[in-house]
């Protein structure tokens, strides 16, 4: 039976029984634009650090990153990415399904994004392999390393890593359970159209997490090393620290 992205994303989420700060939900892992912009989406209705939340990441052509989230930075993606960000903004962020494979995303009054998911032979093959793999292997760093090496060439996304360290210093493990390709129908930021999909001249990354050069949607489980204020950077953007020092 074929599962649509909408149906997969709306299934009841349960946190995996493993150690660490845990998140379950769905994501647009990343979506590059030929203009140099880059967008990503995270929707984690269930997590172990606070309320469920939605966030949008935006990179402008100059390389500056902003994370919009509907919860404080300490409870969102900035908890792990803050040291590499230029700005964070707590605002209204929504990801609303308008069809079985169509998603409408907004972030405050600045950003609007319409996208459509489709299956491909590569995503179908990865999904079949993922369903056959025991849960214990999904939690193995060695297996995740091997999966990343296979996934990049197979999906045409550039380099992929499913384990490593994020900019704030914590380790991460990512389990993309079901995958679809993403096609942007329209993306506008501050009234300006971001233009067509297309890879960036240099593949972006956050620490060891490489953002795909071809847009992907995934249902995902991810977990991180617990935050330690003595060893890890805070959720505040690095630029904000620089201004204060």
Write the DSSP string, 13-75.
Answer: P---SSSSEEEEEEEEEEEEBTTS-EEEEEEEEEESSSS-EEEEEEE-TTS-EEEEESS-GGG
* Average pLDDT, integer, range 159-174: 97
Instruction: Answer yes or no: is pLDDT of 242 > 50.
Output: no
139: burial class by Cβ within 10 Å (0-12, 13-18, 19+)? middle
User: 3-55, pLDDT tens digit by residue?
Assistant: 899 999 988 678 888 889 999 999 999 999 999 999 999 999 999 999 999 99
The first and second tokens of residue 109, run together, are 């009054």
How many residues would you count in the chain? 245
Question: For residue 154, what is the enclosing H or E element?
Answer: helix 141-155
What pLDDT was estimated at residue 1? 52
* Average pLDDT, integer, range 117-129: 94
Listed as own residue / partner, the contacts of 128-131 with beta carbons closer than 8 Å and 24 or more positions apart are: 130/176, 130/177, 130/178
Of 83, 87, 84, 89, nearest to 70 by C-alpha is: 89
The first and second tokens of residue 2, run together, are 């074929």
User: 179-223, pLDDT tens digit by residue?
Assistant: 999 999 999 999 999 999 999 999 999 999 999 999 999 999 999
List of residues 6+ apart from 124 with CB closer than 8 A: none
Query: 110: helix, coil or strand?
Result: coil
- Domain extents in the chain: 5-244
Q: How far is CA 163 from the centre of its chain?
A: 14
pTM of this prediction? 0.94
């Amino acid at each position: 039976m074929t599962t649509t992205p909408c149906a997969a994303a709306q299934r009841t989420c349960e946190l995996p029984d493993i150690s660490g700060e845990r998140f379950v939900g769905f994501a647009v892992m990343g979506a590059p634009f030929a203009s140099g912009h880059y967008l990503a989406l995270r929707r984690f209705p269930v997590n172990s650090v606070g309320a469920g939340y939605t966030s949008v990441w935006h990179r402008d052509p100059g390389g500056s990153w902003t994370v919009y989230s509907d919860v404080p930075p300490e409870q969102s993606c900035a908890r792990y990415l803050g040291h590499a960000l230029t700005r964070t903004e707590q605002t209204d962020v929504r990801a609303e399904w308008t069809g079985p494979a169509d998603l409408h995303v907004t972030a405050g009054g600045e950003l609007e994004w319409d996208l459509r998911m489709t299956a491909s032979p590569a995503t179908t093959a990865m999904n079949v392999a993922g369903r056959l793999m025991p849960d214990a292997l999904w939690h193995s760093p060695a297996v995740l390393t091997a999966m990343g090496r296979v996934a990049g060439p197979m999906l045409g996304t550039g380099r992929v890593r499913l384990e490593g360290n994020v900019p704030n210093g914590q380790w991460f493990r990512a389990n993309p359970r079901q995958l679809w390709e993403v096609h942007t129908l329209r993306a506008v930021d501050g009234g300006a159209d971001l233009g067509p999909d297309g890879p960036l001249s240099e593949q972006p990354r956050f620490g060891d997490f490489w953002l795909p050069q071809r847009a992907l949607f995934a249902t995902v489980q991810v977990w991180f090393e617990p935050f330690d204020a003595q060893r890890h950077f805070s959720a505040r953007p690095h630029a904000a620290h620089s201004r204060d020092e």
